[in-house]
Structure 1
Amino acid sequence: MPPLPPELVTDILLCLPVTSLLRFRCLSKSHCAEIDSPDFAKYHLNVSIQSKTGQKLIINNVDFMDQTDLYYAEFDGNLEDTYLLNNPLKSSRRGTSVCASCNGLFLLGIFVKDQNMDFALWNPFTKRYKKLPPCPVRKSNGDDVCSQVWVFSLNSNSWRRIQDVKDELTSRSRVGLYANGALYWENEDKCVGFDITYEVFFDLALLSDFGPTVIYHDFMVVFGGNLYSPVIRNEPNSIEYYLLVSDSGGEVAGGSWRKEFILEEERNILFNRALPLAYSKKEDSILVNRGNVIYWYNFENQKRTWVEILGIPDVPTYNFHVCWESLVSPGNDSAFDGRAEEVIIEDSEDNLEADSD
């Protein structure tokens, strides 16, 4: 049987899950080099997003200061069974927080002392993580109140300080929301965005002119990779979700709000917020978290299908994060988060040394 063309082999590999690709690294040196390349990781992630496969729900149990255990559930497996993840910052004294996620990478944080945090970039699917060096934040001189902005570069493995922002990032949430190439913080009267590519800040007008039936303008949320601004109404009980649309045709640098969909709700939605998490594959339903209860909401018939997540502890609160399984690396000097994965890779490397390719 003649060998398959290399481009066809690549197309097949791009459709495989991360766990299979990690095993197939031992097939040959050429396969290992291809799977480990940044371009392949980018293409693999894009294929997953376009085909809506490999989507995961990350669950972080929040039990006061104990936020240690992390789990994931498969969207392809109806989110019923959960699997415990190795936590590279796990500590018996302090809990681990999921600060942000993007492209399968998670930024984990753990308090150490004086309200400072240790951070690590972590890919739970390749089992690799990288602890970040402490950010050299300096105290401001004088009476000016400003937010120092530091950017960490994986290439140089160092922090660098860019422009300070006076009074801009005093927001409702300390953690910026990432969507479409920018971070967003919401203040009382406007939204402040930070373009990651050009490293510049910009202002974005918040929604206005809600009408007489609005009882609450909720915090901004991100799902499906986009930024939304929810508005709660009481006639009828519903939440309107407005999508941020770029005015310039680009990813960021300003924009306007467009009503995207409405989530019909029951009473008391003000005190028990419904937070959207992800679209279904057919995009006819949306996964919603409402007070630790997860359900699918169908837009056409307003029907709710409850999801029972098994295998997680009974704690008062959970944090949920939706992500795509990926091969994206947290850095060249990253380490494994568990001995079992080291054994697998060591065995793979032994096979590579014996390979005559």
Structure 2
Amino acid sequence: MSKLPMDVITDVLYRLPVKTLVRFKSLSKSCCSLIDDPDFIRAHLNRSVRTGSNLNIILKGLHLYSVEFDTLDVAVPLDCPLSLGACTEAFGSCNGLLAIHMSDKNVALYNPSTRQFRRLPVSEIDPPQGESCRPGYVFFGFGQDVRTNDYKVVRMAQFNDNDDEDDEGHSFDYEVKGYSLKNDCWRKITKLPFYLRFMFQFFYHLLHRRGYGVLAAGVLHWVMPPRMELEIFSNKIVGFDLGTEEFTEVPQPECADRGFLLDVGVLEGCLCAVCNYDQVNIDVWVMKEYGVKESWTRLLSVKKTRAVNPLTFSKPLAYSKYRDKVLLEVNNQKFAWYDLQKKKMRSVKIGGSLGTFGAEVYVGSLIPIEDQKRTENQKQDQQDEPSLRKGNRKKRDDFLSQGFKLVL
């Protein structure tokens, strides 16, 4: 390898999966230095995203499983450090990093490819002062602020009135906090729009996605369903910009006039609108240019069949290698390839998968999430430990050699 030009070696390494690169780090110091270089990590990730390589699917149920997208063969348990026999949920993925939690306070970031793990500091949920209320449902989102190259977690905690047992149809106070990986701290978001109080409805946010935000173009997205009592007769797509840390309304596609249940998804980085018409058929629209209403394009339409009856839920996951098919998650129970030319679905069987699950695509990457200062301190402590033990032994020997007197 010493006779090969460096650019040739680098080009070869760009094409390898992350697990192979992690093993190659032990070949030599120069190889390790190259693979750990931030420019190499960035270029490797960009190539994976551009070519659709190194893709995996995470299955989210009581436990987490991972499936290689190229084979869609067998689901294997995801060895996550946060899993201690309890339910661990993944609420987002970005550039190969998974955001996971076991409770509202037990939150972490995890890179399955490198097995780097980082637990987030605990941040309490603080009810509004002077009001009698209790924390209700908590929704999460995770993504990257591309302007600062920072990864952020967003937590929205909704509060219920202590004296009201039936909260359906009421408005709710919210607390919104954001976590910055660069700063390793939480910060309260104070600029909240008034319509946020009316976003929550029980069935809407616990069904399918568990109320987790969908990331596209550096913005997390939720859906505010119609509220007839407030004369809000249509769905609204609500976005939270991770750069400005402000909420905004996102234009939605011009769907059919008849009523539908709206959900959001993401396909190859583009925001998707999933319109469900009475569990009979589902249309998937793609926003090709973010924020431009006219760029909404209907990608596909799935109809109820004997094999899929009723059609309660579907969302797009990824294009096939030749972009002639789209992999769909259907009814939280199965996968199917949708042929964009023939407009037909074909079921995909994956061994070892769960009976009921949510699915999300993530790309393998070398993006580091460990606290470098903490890691350096731990290494320094390990280096200092032998000398400390040696110094303690010397003090003990000097003390014993001098003897001691007992005073009666």
Query: C-alpha offsets along residues 129-149 of structure 1, whole Å, 9 cap, x if unaligned?
Result: 101111243322356954333
Residue number in structure 2 paired with 1:304: 345
Q: Give the counterpart letter for 1:137 in structure 2.
A: I
Residue equivalent to 1:344: none
Deviation at 1:218, TM superposition (A): 2.6
Residue matched to 1:176? 213
Question: Which among 233, 236, 239 is matched to residue 282 of structure 2?
Answer: 239
Counterpart residue identity of residue 74, structure 1: E
The total of aligned residue pairs comes to 314
- The Cα shift of 1:26 comes to 1.7
Q: 2:70 matched to which residue of 1?
A: 76
Give the drift of 1:285.
Answer: 0.5
TM-score for both structures, normalised by structure 2: 0.70
Give the alignment of 1:1-357 within 5 angstroms. Answer: 3-60=3-60, 62=61, 67-68=62-63, 70-77=64-71, 79-92=72-85, 94-111=86-103, 116-142=104-130, 146-165=173-192, 166-168=194-196, 170-171=199-200, 172-173=204-205, 174-188=211-225, 189-208=235-254, 210-211=256-257, 214-233=258-277, 238-246=281-289, 255-256=293-294, 258-267=296-305, 271-291=311-331, 292-312=333-353, 315=355, 317-333=356-372
- What is the rounded CA distance, in whole Å, between the counterparts of 1:282 and 1:12 in structure 2? 23
Contact 1:232 1:270 in 2 (8 A): no
Distance 2:373 2:215 in 1: 23
Larger Rg computed on CA atoms: 2
Q: Aligned to 1:220, what secondary structure does the other structure show?
A: strand
AA of the residue aligned to 2:16: L
Q: Aligned partners of 1:269 and 1:224: how far apart in 2? A: 28
SS at match of 2:260: strand
Relative contact order: is structure 1 or structure 2 higher (C-alpha 8 Å, sep ≥ 6)?
A: 1
Cα 1:152/1:39, change in 2 over 3 Å:
farther
Structure number with higher helix proportion: 2
Task: Please say if residues 317 and 327 of structure 2, whose CA atoms lie closer than 8 Å, have aligned partners that are also in contact.
Answer: yes
- Contact 2:94–2:362, Cα closer than 8 Å, also in 1: yes
State the distance in 2 between where 1:21 and 1:155 align: 25
TM-score, structure 1 as length reference: 0.79
Question: Structure 1's 303 and 185: CA in aligned 2 closer, same or farther, altered over 3 A?
Answer: closer
CA RMSD of aligned residues (A): 2.8
For residue 9 of structure 2, give the secondary structure of its aligned residue in structure 1. Answer: helix
| Cα pair distance change 1:82/1:305, threshold 3 Å | same
Q: SS of the residue aligned with 2:368?
A: coil
CA contact (8 A) 1:130 1:335 kept: no
> What are the ranges of 5 or more consecutive residues in structure 1 without an aligned counterpart?
337-357
Cα distance between partner residues in 1 of 2:349 and 2:340: 21
Corresponding letter in the other structure for 2:325: S
**CA shift in 2, pair 1:271/1:241, >3 Å:** closer
- Tell me the CA shift for residue 179 of structure 1: 0.8
SS of aligned partner of 1:57 = strand
Structure 2 counterpart of 1:326, one-letter code:
S
Contact kept? 1:129, 1:334, Cα under 8 Å = no
Q: What is the SS of the residue equivalent to 2:102? A: strand
Residue deviations 1:91-148, cap 9 Å, x none?
23x311111111111111102xxxx331010011111110111124332235695433
Q: Distance in 1 between matches of 2:189 and 2:302?
A: 44
Q: C-alpha separation between the residues in 2 aligned to 1:295 and 1:242?
A: 18
How far apart are 1:215 and its partner, in Å? 4.9
Task: State the distance in 2 between where 1:87 and 1:25 align.
Answer: 22
Secondary structure of the structure 2 residue equivalent to 1:259: strand
The alpha-carbon deviation at position 209 of structure 1 amounts to: 5.8
Q: What letter matches 2:362 in structure 1?
A: C
Distance of 1:85 and 1:262 partners within structure 2: 32
- Contact 1:145 1:167 (8 Å CA) reproduced: no
5+ unaligned residues in a row in structure 2: which ranges?
132-170, 206-210, 226-234, 376-408
